[in-house]
Amino acid sequence: MSEARVHVYLAQLGLGSRREIEDQIRLGRVKVNGKIAKLGQKVDPQQDQLSYRSRLIPPSKARQNLQLVLLHKPKGVISSLKDPQGRMGVVDLLPRRFSHLYPVGRLDLQSEGLILLTNDGDLALRLTHPRYEVPKVYEVKLRGNLDPKKIEHLEKGVRVGNEKWKGVRILDLKEVTRSGVPKFKLQIEIKEGKNRHIRKLFEALSCRVIELKRLKVGPLSLKGIPRGGYKVLSDSQRQRLRRDLGMEEA
């Protein structure tokens, strides 16, 4: 392999997206031959000794086999790799052979549904960065009065705090009121991914999310994957996904 920019090479090794690794370089957590790396610095993978967040990367390490796993995260399982409280994470639901993968995006503790794990850093960035507007579909169960005016706000945009958040696309809407308590079940599509996005969106409309499940990320679906189960995409399926997202094969 010829010289490559350090953030590109580390992304190819599955250590994160290019953007994430650039952030680590800015924080001084990437070193080349014992010295803190600079943004845009080129390295020779066959000669240079790299470290990433104190982890040594042996010279001439071949690019890992890139993988993508679809997981049905249950409630009560965290999306991050590490947890100070020692709670179960999504990687704990997978066999050890997938321990090098990292989650793409997040679902909060009380949400369930589709979460992706990969070591394809560029694909992870394409799926999560707002500028690419990859749609995500959620099933939401609400308590509260979702009247026509609130539905209009939901579709056109909602003010959350000091920000105006983009509207969502409503794919399905049913009222399931029981015992006089207004409840609704929706399927919505969003193209943003703020922290606790959907819960905050409905809180701003005086509705409370009581159940939240992610059904799709782009063309990838939860269908057929049991709670706590997973599905491994073949390399040809992963390459097809990259092409569908306007990316080169890798």
Q: Are 139 and 215 in contact (CB under 8 A)?
A: yes
- List the catalytic residues: 108
Kindly report the CATH number that applies to the domain delimited by 68-118+227-244: 3.30.70.580
pLDDT tens-digit map of 201-244: 999 999 999 999 999 999 999 999 999 999 999 999 999 999 99
CATH code of the region 4-57: 3.10.290.10
Whether 68-118+227-244 shares its CATH topology with 135-217 is answered no
Tens digits of per-residue pLDDT, 3-54? 788 988 887 776 777 888 999 999 999 999 999 999 999 988 778 889 998 8
What whole-number distance in Å separates Cα of residue 169 and Cα of residue 189?
Answer: 5
Q: Tell me the fold of 135-217.
A: Pseudouridine synthase (3.30.2350)
Q: What residue ranges do the domains of the chain occupy?
A: 4-57, 68-118+227-244, 135-217
What are all long-range contacts of 77-80, with beta carbons under 8 Å and residues at least 24 apart?
77/109, 78/109, 79/103, 79/105, 79/106, 79/107, 79/108, 79/115, 80/106
